[in-house]
């Protein structure tokens, strides 16, 4: 099958004709991969990008085809480690050159949080589908602009909410939807860890947007929503800061409540200052699910009122995620609640949590 470039060259005769054919190019930009695999470029080749790249080696429907980096030495390493063509690496300055690469279907933004907004919008303008890491942005306004830009460009926007593709989490959601837990009565969700290097970007407000809440507390927010199947109507929150030097710019430990229309309250907490803090407990009037660990890279473990859970843990979460997203983008399969709109809902809750803290724990209506 001919690539878009072959097709355009045939029509225009030379590569110099490409800009003249930009309108044709833009309509064809989203053409499916000839081999039905989603061809992905990662933007920001840091530690999470490396994990995604490793996981994608086992994908059937998605394939890593390139990267965007400010560190030229990574091109050699990544090319040999992940079998990626060196011609498909770009600098941040050359990011827009991706537009003319017909062998790229989607851009996956794995940069520090405050950079998501810019790179998602720039990717959308190039007509590429976008996957963006969590938190999708550092403000509600940014999230809304990202959604609008993708809509305008006619491209998909998904957030890297990998738990929605993970078997234990999927089983929890299935049980809740099937009524096996009965009426949901309470959710308890917490996730945190002791952060190391005091100089890392995660502790700088300008790059991270916030602290533990934006980084890992967001898993609990998202979990409270998938555990209840409801959207919260009020929030109240408090912060504890035991190390005001290290956590001068961002939040350290936050506890919060989310009130849902049914009357259920989710009780949640997050931290950057201690380990062994990871659980999701959903209790209904007919049964319960407890996942612990519940959000890390796994293996996830769990039990229900029927006994121990036992699901496939042979794949990395990101392998499931990227194959799943490829199915959504290439085959129009419905996504499991991981769109930009879902990311925006979490950003609004994060915003309300910070507002409640600033107001001394006051209940904030959503």
Structure tokens at 18: 């490409």
State the helix-helix crossing angle for 47-56 and 317-331, rounded to 10 degrees: 70
Of 129 and 364, which CB lies nearer to ligand NAD in the complex structure? 129
Q: Closest approach of Cβ 252 to ligand NAD, in Å? A: 17
Residue 122 contacts ligand NAD per CB under 6 A: no
User: Of 62, 75, 111, 294, which one interacts with ligand NAD (CB under 6 A)?
Assistant: 111
State the helix-helix crossing angle for 340-358 and 140-153, rounded to 10 degrees: 170
Q: Closest approach of Cβ 90 to ligand NAD, in Å? A: 13
Residue 113 contacts ligand NAD per CB under 6 A: yes
User: Of 140, 185, 207, 366, which one interacts with ligand NAD (CB under 6 A)?
Assistant: 207
Residue 134 contacts ligand NAD per CB under 6 A: yes
Of 102 and 156, which CB lies nearer to ligand NAD in the complex structure? 156
Cα dihedral 319, 324, 330, 336, rounded to 10, equals -150
Taking the C-alpha atoms of residue 215 and residue 201, their distance in angstroms, rounded to an integer, is 11
307: left (phi over 0), alpha (psi -120 to 50) or beta: left
Of 124, 161, 115, give the one whose Cα is nearest residue 146.
Answer: 124
Cα dihedral 22, 28, 30, 35, rounded to 10, equals -130
Site mask, ligand NAD, residues 20-49, x = CB under 6 A?
Answer: ------------------------xxxxxx
Count interface residues toward ligand NAD (CB under 6 A). 18
Q: Closest approach of Cβ 288 to ligand NAD, in Å? A: 25
Backbone angles phi, psi at 299, to 5 degrees: -70, 140
Residues annotated as catalytic are: 134, 219
Q: Closest approach of Cβ 239 to ligand NAD, in Å? A: 20
Stretch that binds ligand NAD, among 110-118, 191-199, 341-349, 355-363 (CB under 6 A): 110-118
Taking the C-alpha atoms of residue 163 and residue 300, their distance in angstroms, rounded to an integer, is 10
User: Of 166, 171, 215, 251, which one interacts with ligand NAD (CB under 6 A)?
Assistant: 215
Residue 68 contacts ligand NAD per CB under 6 A: no
Of 112 and 302, which CB lies nearer to ligand NAD in the complex structure? 112
Q: Give per-residue burial for 25-41: e unless 16+ CB within 10 Å, then b.
A: beeebbeebeeebbbbb
Of 63 and 162, which CB lies nearer to ligand NAD in the complex structure? 162
Site mask, ligand NAD, residues 291-330, x = CB under 6 A?
Answer: ----------------------------------------
N-terminal to C-terminal alpha carbon distance within the chain: 51
Q: Closest approach of Cβ 79 to ligand NAD, in Å? A: 16
Q: Are 144 and 167 in contact (CB under 8 A)?
A: no
Residue 84 contacts ligand NAD per CB under 6 A: no
Beta strands of the chain (E only): which ranges?
A: 38-43, 62-68, 89-90, 106-109, 129-132, 157-159, 184-192, 234-240, 253-259, 265-271, 277-284, 288-291, 302-304, 307-308, 364-365
Residue ranges binding ligand NAD (CB under 6 A): 44-49, 70, 110-113, 133-134, 160, 162, 201, 207, 215
């Amino acid at each position: 099958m001919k690539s878009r470039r072959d097709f355009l060259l045939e029509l225009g005769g030379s590569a110099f004709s490409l800009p003249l054919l930009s309108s044709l190019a833009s309509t064809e930009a989203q053409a499916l991969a000839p081999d039905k695999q989603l061809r992905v470029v990662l933007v920001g080749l840091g530690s999470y990008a490396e994990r995604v790249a490793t996981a994608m080696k086992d994908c059937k429907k998605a394939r890593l085809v390139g990267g965007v980096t400010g560190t030229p030495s990574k091109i050699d390493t990544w090319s040999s480690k992940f079998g990626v063509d060196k011609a498909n690496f770009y600098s941040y300055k050359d990011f827009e050159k991706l537009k003319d690469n017909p062998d790229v279907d989607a851009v996956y933004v794995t940069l520090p949080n405050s950079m998501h907004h810019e790179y998602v919008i720039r990717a959308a303008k190039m007509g590429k589908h976008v996957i963006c890491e969590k938190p999708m942005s550092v403000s509600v306004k940014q999230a809304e602009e990202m959604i609008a830009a993708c809509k305008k460009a006619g491209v998909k926007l998904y957030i890297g909410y990998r738990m929605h593709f993970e078997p234990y989490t999927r089983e929890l959601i299935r049980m809740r939807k099937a009524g096996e837990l009965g009426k949901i009565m309470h959710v308890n969700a917490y996730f945190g860890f002791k952060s190391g290097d005091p100089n890392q970007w995660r502790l700088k407000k300008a790059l991270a947007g916030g602290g533990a809440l934006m980084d890992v507390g967001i898993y609990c927010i998202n979990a409270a929503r998938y555990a209840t199947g409801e959207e919260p109507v009020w929030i109240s929150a408090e912060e504890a800061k035991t190390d005001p030097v290290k956590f001068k710019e961002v939040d350290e430990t936050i506890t919060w409540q989310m009130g849902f229309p049914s009357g259920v309250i989710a009780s949640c907490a997050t931290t950057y200052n201690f380990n062994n803090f990871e659980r999701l407990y959903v209790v209904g009037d007919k049964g319960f699910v407890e996942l612990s660990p519940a959000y890390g890279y796994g293996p996830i473990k769990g039990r229900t009122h029927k006994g121990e859970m036992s699901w496939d843990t042979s794949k990395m979460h990101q392998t499931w995620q990227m194959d799943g997203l490829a199915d959504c983008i290439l085959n129009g399969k419905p996504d499991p609640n991981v769109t930009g709109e879902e990311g925006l809902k979490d950003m609004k809750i994060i915003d309300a949590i910070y507002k409640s803290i600033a107001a001394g724990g006051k209940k904030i209506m959503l």
